[in-house]
Amino acid sequence: MAIDFTLTPQQRELQLSARDFAGKALADVGKTIRHLPTAEERFLATRPAYEDVVAQGWLRKVIPAPAGGEGNGMVDLALIAEEFYAVDANVSLTLFASLLGLLPVLNAGSPDQVQQTLRPFLSGTGAPLAAFCHSEPGGIANFDEPVPAEGTRTTAVLDGDQWVINGAKQWISSATGWDSKGADILTVVCRTDPNPQTRAAADHSLSVLLVPTPDHGFVSDENFETMGHRGHLTPRFHFENVRVPRENVLGEVGGGKALVEASFAGTAALVGIFGVGLMRSAFDFTLAFAKRERRAGRVPIIEHQAVGYALADAKIAIETARYLSWKACNALDHELPSALELAVQAKIYGSETAVKVITDLMRVVGIDSYNHNLPLAGLLQDAIVLPLFDGGNMGVRRRQLHSLLASPDYDSLDTVTT
């Protein structure tokens, strides 16, 4: 048996390159957006940094090589995500949310769909955005529920050779684009069998449609003022008779449930890494603070046992979350049977641990950490959403793990042996 968390020379180079780029290109984003009054203004102010991300090839690096990008798997994505998130969560989330928006295309698109859709995302120019349109007003944890539950409420009805889409979506990263007219690519989860008498089987009633920026019928309703990720846009919008060609279904008609689950399984482990990046930034600041500050005492506060214990506990938690997330990413890369369970565990543990660790580090710094002149308050604001988005831990993620545990053929050692 070999257990090895050593990065390859190529991965170490990728890690250091991502760290260098993030330190130079993303470090000032928070200051730039801090005093802008609206969500839209803050989002627009991040565009130059995002354009730099694209121009320097980082969007290509997160797109898999088989699709024309330079990505070599989930572990490499985790390395990039940690380095970016440790510096700025806003542009980082815009980047990885665009990857999520492309995942249904990458997972189920035809060769022509993949080629046509990814062309602007591989060009290295501009600021292309993709959005995975899943969440809806009123909640979507039970998106696949059959009647009498509502489940997914956005519908797509065939009219000749076109799908006609109607319905509302919200909390969809970057979905309204830079101009409120829609992202370059929308992958939209719809009910393509809206007849209540025939949609009892949710496995066959949902589909994901590929929707380029609509010419008409895309209506932006509200840009939410969120607690954290202040420079990232999560709007509410709706479709009014938006039409796309019949062939714009990704995969099979009725195959949407499996496609949604596959897309989110691929990002769950990255949410754990987002938490690692935020914790790492908080830890580095607090460690430097503890070595420097005496707080009117005789010695730097790191000399006090309680402070040392708090820092040690934080570092242990960071390492644990990182390695669990790396293991999950490795399992996803190798399509191991344990991949889904590990990804869900990484998402839950990394996200919830980030909130606790940053809160504990704020206690080390004291009341000054409540001031936005120091970074910890902002890091906590960014961390709080991690247990809630990409499938909330209390609902979708814990339900998935519960379902795995309740399965008659569940083996608790699968995650050890695979």
**Enzyme catalytic residues:** 390
The per-residue b/e assignment along 114-133, b for 16 or more CB within 10 angstroms, e otherwise, is beebbebbbeeebbbbbbbb
Phi first, then psi, for residue 370 (nearest 5°) are -80, -10
State the CB neighbour count (10 A cutoff) for residue 252.
12
Query: SS3 helix, strand, coil % of the chain, rounded to 5?
Result: 55, 10, 35
DSSP assignment letter at 172: -
Nearest Cα to Cα of residue 189 among 169, 203, 175, 174: 169
- What are the residues facing 263 on neighbouring strands? none
Residues 6+ apart with CB under 8 A from 31: none
State the CB neighbour count (10 A cutoff) for residue 320.
14
Q: Are 395 and 135 in contact (CB under 8 A)?
A: no
Nearest Cα to Cα of residue 274 among 87, 121, 402: 87
